Structure 1
Amino acid sequence: MNAPAVRVHDLRVTLGGTPVLAGVDLTVAAGEWVTVIGPNGAGKSTLLRAVGGLLTGPGEVALFGTPIGVLRRRERARVVATVAQSPVVPIGMSVFDYALLGRTPYIPPLGRESAADLAAVHEVLDRLDLGPFAHRELATLSGGERQRVFLARALA
């Protein structure tokens, strides 16, 4: 039997002395789609940050059976990618180069992107109908187009 893609058990997160998550349990099978909904301030982003290993607290978080705490940062980044609500948009950066940042966990330190990395970015841009925008600067895109580029980085 395969381990679930995400398993959260009794997760608790406190921020600034305020409990934000208390006793969260969640299991997500590989390939399963899950939507997290709730009012502003309910802890949705906090939950996603904890699953991604960016926040810690009592409880257990495991990705494909491996506790999040034992994964090195690069290993974790190969398994989990998130799209921030308000990502920083580097001035002058092209759509292709921004999406290529999503390949960072696969490029060795002081290394360069491979042909496979470049192909992965082209494939994701094409899947999201962003191929024609590859050489445009992010700042020239509409809000919706930029959101697709942010998603492309996560998927790359």
Structure 2
Amino acid sequence: MSLLRVENLSVSRQKRIVVDRVSFTIGEGEFVGLIGPNGAGKSTLLRALLAQLPYQGSVTLNGQESAQLKSVKRAQFLSYIAQDREISWNMRVEAVVQLGRLARLPQFSGLSKEDQHQITSAIEALEITHLRDKSARELSGGEQARVLIARAIAQDTPLMLADEPVAGLDPAHQLGLMQIFRELSASGRSIICTLHDLGLAARWCTRLLLLKDGCLVADGTPADILKEDVIRDLYGVEVFRTQTPDGLIIQPTHIVR
């Protein structure tokens, strides 16, 4: 059974169709990049999968319709990294990461050894151990982003949705996060991640979904999807493209006039 099955998904906002009859499935161990130009419907699609927006069609998580699941059940299966990652709560960093375990805690119960293991592992993976006792509200934007990513990883769900997770991170932490996602997918968890950086999408994702004007126009490997003519038509840029022992390299070079 697929972790996620999307069939003829459509979302309208302010009487305008933003996602138009999109269908795809996600299996175990996939690191899927959701790409497309601004306004293609990427963030709206993720929010529909979370049942945060009304939709037409079907979204099933492990065989159950997403909109019909109780929020706790959905949170046990699906975690989410939102695009807006400003933390306004006056909480310690470790306490914010602990929130990722709430959906798994029995009522009136404290953190188990497994809970604490997941929390510590996520904190260490995002390299925020030195921040764990600081107030999250006092951190920089990039540090806050890493805290919220750690919270989602600590949630330990079969499927994770991430909306532009590398935004605000420096190059080293961007690469580190892509490595973490690749390792999670290798362990059997699946990630759907919106990306504007085609170089990261090419180098790290195992599969790409390409949206244009709310429609899914391509679904395949980075090597199959990220061709020069496709990028030129979709984004209006020329790119340098080469295959290396470390993977496919894509670098935009100039705007097509």
Could you state the TM-score of these two structures normalised by the residue count of structure 2?
Answer: 0.56
Once residues 101 and 88 of structure 2 are traced to their aligned partners in structure 1, the CA distance between those partners, rounded to angstroms, is: 17
Tell me what 2:41 maps to.
43
Q: Which amino acid aligns with 2:150?
A: A
Cα shift at 1:110: 4.4
Structure number with the higher strand fraction is 2
2:6 to 5, 8, 17: 8
1:99 to 97, 100, 104: 97
CA separation in 2, counterparts of 1:85 and 1:142? 16
- Unaligned residue ranges in structure 1 (runs of 5+): none
The two structures, once aligned, show a CA RMSD in angstroms of 1.7
3-state SS, counterpart of residue 90 of structure 1: coil
8 A contact 2:86–2:144 mirrored in 1: no
1:155 paired residue number: 153
Counterpart AA for 1:115: K
User: Distance in 1 between the 2:58 and 2:89 partners?
Assistant: 39
Deviation at 1:50, TM superposition (A): 1.1
Contact 2:85–2:144, Cα closer than 8 Å, also in 1:
no
Encode CA deviations 1:67-118: one digit per residue, 9 max, x unaligned: 2133221010111111111135134211101111111111234443333322
Aligned length: 154
> Could you say which residue in structure 1 is the equivalent of 2:199?
none
Name which of 85, 88, 95 aligns with 1:87.
85
Q: Does the alignment pair 1:116 with 2:114?
A: yes
**Aligned residue runs from structure 1 range 62-77, under 5 A:** 62-77=60-75
- Larger CA Rg, structure 1 vs 2: 2
2:3–2:28 contact (8 Å) kept in structure 1 = yes
Shift of 1:18: 1.4
SS at match of 1:82: strand
Report if aligned partners of 2:7, 2:24 keep a CA contact under 8 Å in 1: yes
Q: Please give the alpha-carbon distance, in whole angstroms, between the structure 1 residues aligned to 2:28 and 2:125.
A: 21
CA contact (8 A) 2:3 2:63 kept: yes
Question: Does 1 or 2 have the higher relative contact order (CA < 8 Å, sep 6+)?
Answer: 2
- Corresponding residue for residue 144 of structure 2: 146
1: distance between equivalents of 2:9 and 2:144? 33
Amino acid at match of 1:27: T
* Aligned-partner Cα distance in 1 for 2:106–2:14: 36
Q: Which residue of structure 1 aligns with residue 134 of structure 2? A: 136
